[in-house]
């Protein structure tokens, strides 16, 4: 599914990702954990093609297609999805208009017919209910005035509607109370169908109680320094990141 080889990425001429390798097979759930500044968000921005995130070396492919050659929207329609850590507010553009345009684009890329407005309304309402957001949120501006938890749920709703091949969840658990965390985790789990893959980025083991990963990787200093099964997350939780070999805390990441 996703294959990253020897990836180097920099932001403002500062190298953040160093020779990173990662392979995710269809249906697998991988978790990436790591301290602040390890390069977790940079990795997700570099893969989705955010402006200013330069790839100096290496490759990243999705089902064999070269992601790095594609425009941002082409990566999305190729099946890559990012649930943002800090979703942007876009007043004046209604959530509904945004979701419809997104789903239209995805369906066009898959040679499926556009939903009619009434068909889409049904689908959107169902997804909205699934993540426990009031239907009025469909009418509001994109993320406008949403609380942190509501924004995270709106991201999961988009994932449910867009049906990606690979979803990157960038700290989808941060700032959530336990009830909201369950809603988010249930939303993610509902999309696990044995084919769709997930890359779950998190600081804490807590989310992984709800979303059982197949693999856990520790990212530090822009590369994966340790990989293992779910038990690795428990060890990290018990011992903290200092338990790992020393890493450079100065690297900047989580840039918003």
Partner 1 sequence: MSSWLADTITQAQTIDDWLSPKRAQSLALLEATNWPNRKTEAWRYTPVNKIERATFKQTSTLQDIATHIPNLDAIDLVFVDGIFDAAASSKTFPAGLTINQLADGKDHDWALESFKNTKPDRHFFGLINDTLATQGCIIDVANDTAIEQPIRILQSFQQGSQSHTRILMRLGKRSSACVIEQLQGDSLSLNTSFAEYQIADQAKLEHYRLALQCSEAISIGGSHFSLGEKADLDSNLVGFGSQLSRVDIDIIHAGESAHSQLNVIYLLDGKELFDLHSAIEHTKPHGTSEQNVRCIVADHANAIFNGRIHIHRNAQKILAEMNNRNLLMSDDAQINTKPELEIYADDVRCAHGATIAEIDEKAMYYLQSRGISRSEAQVMLSFGFINELVDMMNNQAIAQWLRPILRQRFADMEIR
Residues lying near partner 1 in the complex (CB under 8 A) are found at: 48-51, 71-73, 75-77, 81-82, 84, 87-88, 90-93, 97-98, 101-102, 105-106, 109, 141-142, 158, 162
> Whole-number minimum distance, CB 255 to partner 1, in Å?
12
> Whole-number minimum distance, CB 154 to partner 1, in Å?
11
Rounded distance, CA 2 to CA 4, Å? 7
> Whole-number minimum distance, CB 41 to partner 1, in Å?
13
Answer whether 236's CB lies under 8 Å from 243's CB: yes
- Nearer to partner 1 by C-beta: 50 or 192? 50
- Nearer to partner 1 by C-beta: 72 or 126? 72
Give strand pairing partners of 142. 90
- Nearer to partner 1 by C-beta: 97 or 235? 97
Rounded distance, CA 192 to CA 72, Å? 24
- Nearer to partner 1 by C-beta: 88 or 238? 88
Tokens of 44: 């997700």
- Nearer to partner 1 by C-beta: 48 or 132? 48
Closest CA to 180 of 212, 203, 146, 142: 146
The residue assigned the tokens 């939780």 is 237
> Whole-number minimum distance, CB 248 to partner 1, in Å?
28
> Whole-number minimum distance, CB 115 to partner 1, in Å?
14
Closest CA to 203 of 38, 23, 28: 38
- Nearer to partner 1 by C-beta: 155 or 221? 155
C-alpha 18, offset from chain centre: 20
> Whole-number minimum distance, CB 165 to partner 1, in Å?
13
Rounded distance, CA 56 to CA 36, Å? 23
The DSSP line for 171-221 is STTTT--HHHHHHHHHHHHHT--SS-EEEEEES-SHHHHHS--SEEEEEET
């Amino acid at each position: 599914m996703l294959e990253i080889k020897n990836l180097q990425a920099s932001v403002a001429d500062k190298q953040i990702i160093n020779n990173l390798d990662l392979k995710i097979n269809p249906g697998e759930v991988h978790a990436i954990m790591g301290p602040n500044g390890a390069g977790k968000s940079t990795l997700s921005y570099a893969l989705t093609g955010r402006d200013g995130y330069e790839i100096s070396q290496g490759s990243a492919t999705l089902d064999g297609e070269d992601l790095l050659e594609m425009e941002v929207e082409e990566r999305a329609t190729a099946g890559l999805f990012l649930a943002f850590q800090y979703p942007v507010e876009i007043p004046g553009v209604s959530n509904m208009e945004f979701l419809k345009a997104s789903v239209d684009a995805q369906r066009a890329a898959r040679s499926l017919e556009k939903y009619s407005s009434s068909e889409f309304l049904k689908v959107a309402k169902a997804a909205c209910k699934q993540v426990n957001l009031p239907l009025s949120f469909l009418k509001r501006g994109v993320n406008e005035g949403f609380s942190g938890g509501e924004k995270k749920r709106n991201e999961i709703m988009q994932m449910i509607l867009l049906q990606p091949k690979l979803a990157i969840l960038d700290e989808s658990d941060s700032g959530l109370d336990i009830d909201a965390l369950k809603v988010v985790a249930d939303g993610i789990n509902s999309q696990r169908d044995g084919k769709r893959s997930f890359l779950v980025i998190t600081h804490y083991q807590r989310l992984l109680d709800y979303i059982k990963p197949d693999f856990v990787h520790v990212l530090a200093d822009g590369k994966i320094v340790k990989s293992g099964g779910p038990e690795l997350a428990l060890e990290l939780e018990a011992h903290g990141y200092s338990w790992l070999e020393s890493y450079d805390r100065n690297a900047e990441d989580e840039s918003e």
